[in-house]
Amino acid sequence: MGLRLDRSRELQVRAEKLLPGGVDSPVRAFRSVGGDPPFVIRAEGAYLFDEDGNRYLDYFGSWGPMVLGHAFAPVVEAIQQAAARGASFGASTAAEGDLAELVRRCFPSVEKLRFVSSGTEACMSAIRLARGFTGRKFVVKFEGCYHGHSDAMLVKAGSGVATLGIPGSAGVPEETAMHTLALPFNNLDAVEAAFAARPGEIACVIVEPVVGNAGTIPPAPDYLEGLRALTRKDGALLILDEVMTGFRVALGGAQQRYGVTPDLTTLGKIVGGGLPCGAFGGRADVMDKLAPLGPVYQAGTLSGNPLAMAAGISTLKELIAREGEIYSQLEKTTAAIADGVAAVAREAGVPLTTNRVGSMFTWFFTSEPVTDFASAAKSDTAAFGRFHRAMLEAGVWLPPSQFEAAFVSTAHRTAEVEATLVAARTALQS
Ligand code: KE4
């Protein structure tokens, strides 16, 4: 292997003595792709730099937030200025309203919202709110979808749960899991049957409108509209988990791209510009059930943190100001990368299915279409692991799992497209 990772290896050895698996989030451990993870020291634009002086073209972008590229100057400046005024107050600030107004501008269905510190918190809180608003217990999610690591959501989840092949999670009592119904994605009959079996008992359906946590899987035509109709008919709430798709597949997320209006939306990643921030919001009559107005409790020491607000405001202002230019550039660049490598694979006789929505995409090592988790799971994960390693050796860092989406930023330009195709030609020959 050509890559020198001596310093990263030293740091990995120390990290494993201090952090389980040496990581603060399992998917970073490279368990499903093998080899040592490089330790990043800094990032700029489309590139990551590690402790051994290696440079990598970045295709996971901190798992979604870095849509403007790393260390985007206006965001850096906004964070620095906010930090000089104090990191956290635990009191109301104008910045929370400023960012909330920008979110509402992008997501008209969000009449009211609340900021939290992660996508997990956003989804967990939205589900509690849906249960409190409807007085119902059951929640529908979909196999391969990941909505953070709250107990109720670790049932047939995607992302790291799927990557590590663990059924759900130890530590989740069956009394909790029993109220989560996990159904196949892109299958409306299964949802209809669930509502028929439990009329008036399902509080909400939560879905990744474009799945990213089983790898990228677009919704089938009319699927999201079908979920909207079925939930409305039964009086259940529709929650679109746009933590990944928000500001990614369109400025207004998947609900803008596909024209579906949910009752609640969860956000994360891009909304905080790379700082710890999530949000959940939607119908005012639902949101007003939250304390201190209503009986559903939810709270957070660092919710609406001034630095995260500053980073989010700066990011969304850029996306809003240059919406047309940015989203058409992201579409074009991502198509060139995703389809370009698919063509290289065809030339090399390697079966590859490419799914893409906007600037998120996945190369599945299978010749079959991938329309749900079951079909994604047929992928040759060992082949993906070899590809991942070969691309890393060639200076291209893909998400280290077949069951994750890759992301492109505005910092990815023609040079990055070309470099990726060159690396893929080598990687797919091996
Ligand atoms: P966080 O708690 O990780 O901020 O967000 C949870 C979450 C909720 N909903 C969706 C659709 C998500 O994609 C996520 C988090 N995504 C994973 C990557 N697929 C985070 C990466 C990680 O776990 O390290």
Question: For residue 73, with 0-12 CB atoms within 10 Å meaning exposed, 13-18 middle and 19 or more buried, which class applies?
Answer: exposed
DSSP string for residues in 294-311:
SSB----TTTT-HHHHHH
Query: Which atom of ligand 1 is the closest one to the Cα of 27?
Result: 24
Q: Is the pLDDT of residue 166 over 70?
A: no
Q: What percent of the chain has pLDDT over 90?
A: 93
Identify the active-site residue in 47, 56, 59, 146. 146
Q: Nearest to residue 373, comparing CAs of 211, 249, 222? A: 211
Pick the CATH number of 6-63+323-429 from 3.40.309.10, 3.40.50.300, 3.50.50.60, 3.90.1150.10: 3.90.1150.10
Q: Exposed/middle/buried for 86, CB within 10 Å: 0-12, 13-18, 19+?
A: exposed
Ligand 1 site, residue 163, Cβ cutoff 6 A: no
The enclosing H or E element of 24 equals none
CB of 123 closer than 6 angstroms to any ligand 1 atom: yes
Tell me which of 47, 50, 263, 269 is the catalytic residue.
269
Q: Across all residues in the chain, what is the average pLDDT?
A: 96
Contact residues for 386 (Cβ-Cβ < 8 A; gap 6+): 430
Helix axes 73-84, 306-321, angle to 10 degrees: 150
Find all residues with CB under 8 Å of 285, minimum gap 6, and list them. Answer: none
Q: How far apart are CA 184 and CA 156, in angstroms?
A: 10
Q: What are the two backbone dihedrals, phi and then psi, of residue 46, each rounded to the nearest 5 degrees?
A: -95, 10
* Topology given in CATH for the domain delimited by 73-321: Aspartate Aminotransferase; domain 2 (3.40.640)
The Cα–Cα gap between 58 and 395 comes to: 9
Indicate if 241 belongs to the active site.
yes
263 C-beta closer than 6 A to ligand 1: no
Q: What is the pLDDT of residues 185-211, one digit of tens each?
A: 999 999 999 999 999 999 999 999 999
Domain boundaries, the chain: 6-63+323-429, 73-321
Q: Does the active-site annotation cover 56?
A: no
Find out whether 358 and 334 touch, Cβ atoms under 8 Å: yes
Q: Are 408 and 396 in contact (CB under 8 A)?
A: no
Give the pLDDT score at 339.
98
* Catalytic residue list contains 269: yes
Distance CA 197, CA 184 (A): 16
Pocket lining: 272 vs ligand 1, CB cutoff 6 Å: no
- Catalytic one of 50, 58, 241, 372: 241
Ligand 1 proximity of 208 Cβ (cutoff 6 Å): yes
The answer, yes or no, to whether residue 94 has pLDDT greater than 70, is yes
pLDDT in tens, 132-165: 999 999 999 999 999 999 999 998 777 877 776 5
CA-based nearest residue to 7, from 47, 49, 43: 49
Across residues 257-283, what is the average pLDDT?
98
Atom number of ligand 1 nearest to Cα 26: 24
81: left (phi over 0), alpha (psi -120 to 50) or beta: alpha
